[in-house]
Structures are given as structure tokens and as C-alpha cells.
Amino acid sequence: MTRIRKAIFPVAGLGTRFLPATKAMPKEMLTVVDKPLIQHVVDEAREAGIEHFIFVTGRNKGVIEDHFDRQFELETTLEQKKKNAELELLDRDLPGAGQASFTRQQGPLGLGHAVWCAREIVGHEPFAVLLPDVLVKGKPSCLKQMTDAYAELGSGSNIIAVEEVPMDKVAMYGIVGIGKAKGKAHEITQMVEKPARDKAPSNLSVTGRYILQPEIFNVLETQPKGAGGEIQLTDAMVTLAKQQPFYSLKFTGKSYDCGSKIGFLSANIAYALERPDLGPALREEMRNALK
């Protein structure tokens, strides 16, 4: 199958770096300008042709499910007040009936375990994984660039989105080594989690977007715990790479690590500046603040 129809969104994390804001609200519902993080990422997936959105949730994440459902009281009020633009906005953000699924990750056992929790919903077909605390700004969207590359590579391939980082910061990221080019993608020869600068195979960091084959679930089924006592997706990909081809795609765009406060603030500024209704006024406010 050369078409990616399903995407997994791991949203079970506790968001401890944003306490106390995330004490009662999921970090995925923090807003970048006027839209929750998770909505930005779902919009990216929708642009790439994703038809089924799979959310792997945990405790206190019910508001995410509510966000992707109808709220009749609000819609009725908007209808009565003839606020048609707001109604159209809500309708546009909503997945169609049966297009969203929610499953529980009942313990903080890592990203690999979260992906594995969605195995029954994904079934035996390739799928995407998008980390909701990473926003990627660019046109076309990062995942659209990946699905286009996947169509060229053909079925049976795995793709990881990568971007360059300064060499003095490679120890903060998962890093890949690359080999021969195939279209816009490159063969991955090595995957290393947070390598020392002198051990890094490149400065290409993994960016939180993946297209994976369903055989990864078989690997995750018996994957031993890795760093942090968690089941790591990277470890499973290293194992699967011995059986299937893995490619990196250096996408056009810029990522924002919204799991960090600086990344989150930077994303808010970048997304607001490109808005014609906000950009000019924000520039002026920033100039005044920096005087």
C-alpha cells in the first residue's frame, strides 16, 4: 500500500515541564495563538490525506476527546447569534463521523509502548506517527512531504523526518546517519539516541514525524525497556531496520519543540507573525518591548 490513511497521536504524557498550567489541562491543549497544539498537528495530518486519527490517551485527557466532538450548546448559541464564521471554523476543525479513535495507554511506559497501544486500530497497514508537542511550520506540511516521498519509494519503506541541528547540540536529539539518495529521501545507515558530538554520525535530528510499517508492532510486542525504563520507539526502529529499509527525509520548513517553554513561545511568535490580522500589531508590540 503506497497510501497512508491512518495516523497515531501519542497524547498520554503528563506535561510536567509546563506545570502548573498542565495540572488540570493536557499540554496538548495549550494554544499556539488561538488553536490547541493538537489541532495544529491534526491539521497537518489532514493536509497529508490522513483519514483516521488515532489518539493514544491517558488520565485527565478527556478534554482532547471533547475537543474533537460536537458541542451542541455552543453551536446552538452561535447559530442563534448568527456567528456563521465561528460555526464554519468549528466544523472545519472537526473530524468526520468515525474518523477519530481513542485508546488508553494506562501507564507511562514510553513512546514505543504508546504506538503499540494503537495496534488493533491501525491493523496491518502502514501508518504515520506525529508527536503533538512538535509543530512543523512549512508548506506543504511536513507529513505531506513525507507521504509524497513514500509514494515515490513504494510500499514496504519506513520514513523519518529529519532536520539539521548545530553540531554542539546533537547530544540533545536522536541523530541519523545517511547513505545513498533515493529521490528526495536518503537511506538511513545509523540511528543513535543523543550521541556525544564526537560519536554523532551526522547533525540530522529526528523531528517527531514517522511513517512506519505495521511490522513495528511485532517488534514492540517483545521490545525490552530501554532508556529511562521505558519502551523506546527508536530501539524498535533499529531492530526493524535490519529487516526493512528506513529512509530519512530532510523536509522543507522549521520545527518548534513545544515541549520546551522557549520552543512553545517561539512557535506562538512565528505563527502569530504570519497572520495578517495579528502580525503587524505584534511586530509593533515586540519593537516596543525590546526598546
Grade residue 1 by pLDDT with cuts at 50, 70 and 90.
low
d(CA 39, CA 32): 10
Residue with cell 521490545: 223
Which cell is 156 given?
514496504
Q: Kindly report, residue by residue over 249-259, the tens digit of the pLDDT.
A: 999 999 999 98
The whole-angstrom separation of Cα 12 and Cα 97 is 23
pLDDT digits (tens, 9 = 90+) for 94-103: 777 778 999 9
Q: What is the pLDDT of residues 163-217, one digit of tens each?
A: 999 998 888 888 899 999 998 999 999 888 888 888 889 999 999 999 999 999 9
Which carries the bigger pLDDT value, residue 16 or residue 1? 16
pLDDT of residue 98: 77
pTM recorded for the entire structure? 0.91
**Residue-wise burial string across 11-25, b where 16 or more C-beta atoms lie within 10 A, e elsewhere:** bbbebeebeeebeeb
Domains along the sequence of the chain with CATH = 6-290 (3.90.550.10)
Nearest partner of 235 among 56, 58, 113, judged by Cα: 113
Residue 52 has φ and ψ, to the nearest 5°, of: -130, 120
Smallest CA-to-CA distance from 212 within 259, 146, 164 is with 146
